[in-house]
Homo-oligomer: A and B are copies of this chain.
Amino acid sequence: MANETGMGLRERKKLATWQAIRDAALRLIDRRDFDAVSLDEIAEAAGVSRTTLFNYFASKEAIVLDPAPQDPQLWRSLMDARPERETLWASLQAVHLGYVSTFSDRLVLQKRLKTVSPTLAASTREHAARFKRELRDWIADRAPSGSEVYAELAVNTAGAAMATAYTLWSPDDGFDRLMELARTCFEQAGRGFTAP
């Protein structure tokens, strides 16, 4: 029995549960420390059993860091939106900037959490890696064979540019400042480091 959203009850409930768990977790962790909040508490607060929680998230960190179910599709459309004839480097910049924009809302909270909890900071890197994997696959089609090193390096360097901007950025600066920093970094990395 489908409704206006085009989803069955089952699917809608699933999304609601996902949201309930994430919301409960963020609310609890916002007050106390990440490590001080137990899975039982989160499950309790989300009105779900601990077992179910693991049906939705692979780990405690994932509850905070996992992209929303819609996000990956969004990323792909970001990549597909890039014109064929655009420079690899220009595409990479555009995709990265678009990428962080997809969760500009969560970004401030997440960065704050990460500065406090090393556990979270560590597994964030794992997440960046997941995005990078998608990027790589996407690049693989565009890159002429024989340029694997160049393509891989470009992807990683773009990641470094973005990471640099993110590191230097403070949540208090506001989101636009992050974009500005990112653009600066991409420009500089694009120029290279050999010349003074």
A47 vs B191: C-alpha distance when bound (angstroms): 55
Contact of A149 among B88, B152, B154, B185 (CB under 8 A): B185
Interface contact A88-B193, CB-CB below 8 Å: yes
- Known A-B contacts A190-B193, A191-B192, A194-B191; the reply to A163 vs B156 at CB < 8 A is yes
Check A152–B125 contact: CB distance below 8 A: no
- Asked if B126 and A193 make an inter-chain contact with CB atoms under 8 angstroms apart, the answer reads no
Contacts known (A148-B168, A168-B148, A188-B150); A193 close to B123, Cβ less than 8 A: no
Interface string of A155-175 (1 = CB under 8 A from B): 011011101100110000000
When distances are taken between beta carbons in the complex, the residues of chain B under 8 Å from A192 are: 189-194
Q: What sequence of 0s and 1s flags, for each residue 92-119 of chain A, a beta carbon within 8 Å of any chain B beta carbon?
A: 0000000000000000000000000000
Question: How many residues of chain A have a CB within 8 Å of chain B?
Answer: 34
Cβ distance A66 to chain B, nearest Cβ, rounded Å: 15
A181, B153: Cα distance in complex, Å: 11
CB distance from A170 to the nearest CB of B (A): 13
Which of A123, A150, A191, A194 has the most C-beta atoms of chain B within 10 angstroms of its own C-beta? A194
Asked whether A15 is an interface residue with its Cβ less than 8 Å from the other chain, the reply is no
Q: What residues of B have a CB within 8 angstroms of the CB of A7 in the complex?
A: none
Q: How far is the CA of A88 from the CA of B195 in the complex (A)?
A: 11
Q: Cβ of A81 < 8 Å from any Cβ of B? A: no
In the complex the two chains form, is B156's CB within 8 Å of A164's CB? Answer: yes
B168:A157 contact, CB within 8 angstroms? no
**What are 21 A-to-B residue pairs whose CB atoms are below 8 Å?**
A88-B193, A122-B122, A122-B126, A125-B125, A125-B126, A125-B129, A148-B168, A149-B188, A153-B164, A153-B188, A153-B189, A156-B160, A157-B157, A157-B161, A157-B189, A160-B160, A189-B189, A189-B193, A190-B192, A190-B194, A192-B194
